[in-house]
Amino acid sequence: MKKIYKIFVLIGFVFLFIGATNPTLIYTSYTAAIVTKVIQDVKHKTVDSDWIQTKPLTQLKSNDLLNTGKRSVAVLKFVDGSILRVRENTTIMIFADKKEKGLVKNTKLENGKIVFDVNKQIDDDKFIITTPTAVATIRGTSGLVETLSDGSTLLMVETGIVEVESLGDKRETKSIEAGVTSVINPDGSITTNVTTEEQRKNFQSSNKTNEKFIQIQTNRGNFRVYYLDSE
């Protein structure tokens, strides 16, 4: 009986150790964000569940995944007020770590495009976006992150400054200022250029999450063409 008791105590310690060292388990409980707007097909998945349809006020905790389908958009608000607009065909994973004086948020962008509008980060706050090739640390700024078909990451900064670190062999770190767009390549190199008019329009159009429609009346009935406009 004593042996069984010792085994349970040992197993307990093992779980405690794993819990203390595995960030996945640390993060599991904290509610980091809510979904405030859903357009078309948006799904999410928790650690314990399968993919389920997302509705407004869906709470996203650490390790939760969110996926948008074709012509679909989701708007997330983090508990610090920061906003993430998740564009079509995008998958993200949310992590959050509550500190004594702040909250560390890490959004892993698997594929697709997100637009961020991050509130001022204070004390221990951090807002991080991780892609397969880059880690971007954002402090009170807005812009866009997109994974490109060649595996690289495009980062466009609209306001403020973003610190970006590449994950490839050449591992570089750069500060990207407002009005600048950078591409973080799989080899770790970072190229920066002044944002082109086309890129700026791309950002503006990606920022649109207000659903509107045009109604076309025909003798066979009415048709609606839906589109997205600025909030």
Partner 1 sequence: MKKLLFFVCSIFLFNQIVIAQFDNFNFATIPEEVLENSAFNLSIELLDGEQVEQAVLFYRAFGTSKFLPLDMIIQGNRLLAEFNKENVIPPSIECYIKIINSSGIEKFYPSFALETMNFIRIEVRQKIEQTGDIILLSPSPDEILTISEFFLAFSVLRLSDKVKISSTKVFINDTDFSSLIQFTDDLIFIPQGTIRELNIGMNSINIILFDYEDKIINQISSTFQIFNELQKEELQKLKLALNGSVELNLANENLRFGSTTYNRLNVFLNGNYGSLNSNANIYVTNEEKSNLQPQNRFSFQTYNDWFKINIGDHFPTYPSLILSGKRVRGLSSSLMLGFFNLQATYGEITRKIEGELLKGIRRDTIVLDPNLVPIDSLKYGQPFGLIRFGTYSRKLFAVRPSFGSGETFQLGFTYLHSKDDPQSIEFSAKPKENLVVGTDLFIGADQRRIQLNFQSAFSFLNKDIARGNISDATLDSLANNENLGIDPDLLRTFRDVLGNFITVNQHLSPQNPQELPTLAAEGSLILNYFGNYLKGTYLFRGNEYTSFGQNFLRTDIKGFQLFDRLSLFENRVFFSFSYERLNDNLQKTKISTTSFNNYEGSLSLYLRRDFPVVNFTFSNYNTKNDIDPNSTDSLKLTNIIDDNIKIINLSTSYDFDYYIRHKISLSYLNSNKKDNTQKNFSSSFNSFNLSLQNLWNSDLISFLSTNFSNSNIKLRELNYFSLTLGARLNALESKLTNSASVTIFSGDLKRNVFDLSSRYLILKNLSGIFSLRFILNDTNIKNESIINFLLRYEL
Binding site for partner 1 (CB under 8 A): 29-31, 34, 36, 55-57, 59, 77, 79-81, 98, 103, 119-120, 122, 140-141, 159-161, 177-179, 194, 197, 200, 204, 210-215, 227, 229-231
Give min distance, CB of 134 to partner 1, in A: 21
Minimum CB separation from partner 1 for residue 34, in Å? 6
For 5, 11, 53, 196, 218, the CA distances from 108, given in Å and listed in that order, are 41, 32, 20, 26, 46
Report the candidate in 211, 208, 160, 153 with the shortest Cα–Cα distance to residue 182: 153
Spatial CA neighbour of 228 closest among 33, 89, 87: 87
Nearer to partner 1, 82 or 185 (CB): 82
Which one, 8 or 213, has the nearer CB to partner 1?
213
Nearer to partner 1, 31 or 192 (CB): 31
**Considering the complex, what minimum distance in angstroms separates the CB of residue 133 from partner 1?**
25
- Given the complex with partner 1, which of 20 and 57 has the nearer CB atom? 57
Residue with smaller CB distance to partner 1, 69 or 124: 124
CB of 57 to partner 1, least distance (A): 5
Classify residue 30 as left (phi > 0), alpha (psi -120 to 50) or beta: beta
Closest distance to partner 1 from the beta carbon of 119 (Å): 7
Nearer to partner 1, 20 or 194 (CB): 194
Task: Work out how close the CB of 178 gets to partner 1 at its nearest, in angstroms, rounded to a whole number.
Answer: 5
